[in-house]
Structure 1
């Protein structure tokens, strides 16, 4: 996913341009820190105090230049208009957040307003069109049958959350002025791997296969996650 995001950024902005990036629901700040290390000015917005503490610990270990390029704000992603002016960012990320939001449209609209013209909105969501894949591949036939006509599921943390359909998000992005520009599948082959599975010796080959599948039909359509990139008109 990081490679896909970097590809989209490289395709829109000159090499070396320092971008203004907002990471909504930054979690522990892994993506935000990676982008700050790349030279961008990054703002992380997060409401979970445990995650914020972890992100601050990681940031404290960075050189002065990187610490100066990243700021962390405690707040709800649905309140971007409280913290920032419209058009304040070149790139807005929202990765792994929408599944916890019952009504995502206001959040999406608020993030789109934060984008400058031509800005990039990057979303990582659970793929509702492939919810039957995980239980089906695990031999849970009852669970697979129950997953076809719903957007609700229970994640690996035991939380009841929701997924998004590509067609629905495509329409939503068009409606908020950031129409879909590109999309990818994420975790096509590796979704059923245990969280504690050891890293395989041929991890480079595995990543290459995942990368190829995530860009190729029909494989990307059954990925566990979808990475969508919209562009502000």
Structure 2
């Protein structure tokens, strides 16, 4: 995912430009900190108190120069219009958030509103076109059969959440003047791995396979997650 994001940033902005980045639903701040270390100015928004506390601890351990480039805001990603002016950011990230939002279109429209012209919107969503893959590969045939006709599923935390279909999100991005520029699959072959699975000795080879599959048809279409990149007109 980081490699995909870096590829899109490199293709849109001059080398060395310090970008204004908004990370909505940043979790513990993994991407936010990574981008701050690369020299960008990052604002992270997170609603969960435990997650934002972890992010603050992680930022506090960074050198002063990196800490100065990170701003953390506790809040709901749907309130971007309250916190930020239109066109405030060059890059907006919203990774692993839409599956918890019943109606994603207003949230995505709010993200696009704070994106500067020519800016990059990066979404990571559950792939609604491939919900039958995980239960099918696990031999759970009844769940696989039911998954063909729904965009709802139970995630690994045991929560009932929702997935997004590529065609629907493509239409949404068109409607908010941030049309789809590129898309990738994420977790094509590794989605059935256990949460506590040990990292394999050939991790770099595994990542190379996933990266190749994530940009190649037909493999990317059956990935567990989709990484969609829209560009603000």
For 1:54-93, list aligned pairs within 5 A.
54-93=54-93
Tell me the distance in 2 between the aligned counterparts of 1:52 and 1:214: 30
Alpha-carbon shift at residue 82 of structure 1 (Å): 0.3
1:175 aligned onto 2:175: yes
1:27 aligned onto 2:27: yes
Alpha-carbon shift at residue 138 of structure 1 (Å): 0.1
For 1:68-217, list aligned pairs within 5 A.
68-217=68-217
* TM-score of the two chains, using structure 2 as the length reference: 1.00
* TM-score of the two chains, using structure 1 as the length reference: 1.00
Tell me the distance in 2 between the aligned counterparts of 1:47 and 1:154: 21
Alpha-carbon shift at residue 68 of structure 1 (Å): 0.1
Tell me the distance in 2 between the aligned counterparts of 1:51 and 1:159: 18
RMSD: 0.4
Tell me the distance in 2 between the aligned counterparts of 1:210 and 1:225: 12
Q: Deviations over 1:177-199 (max 9, x none)?
A: 10000000000000000011111
| Secondary structure of the corresponding residue to residue 7 of structure 2 | helix
Moved over 4 A (4+): none
Structure 1, unmatched stretches of 5+, are none
Alpha-carbon shift at residue 7 of structure 1 (Å): 0.3
| Secondary structure of the corresponding residue to residue 129 of structure 2 | helix
Structure 2, unmatched stretches of 5+, are none
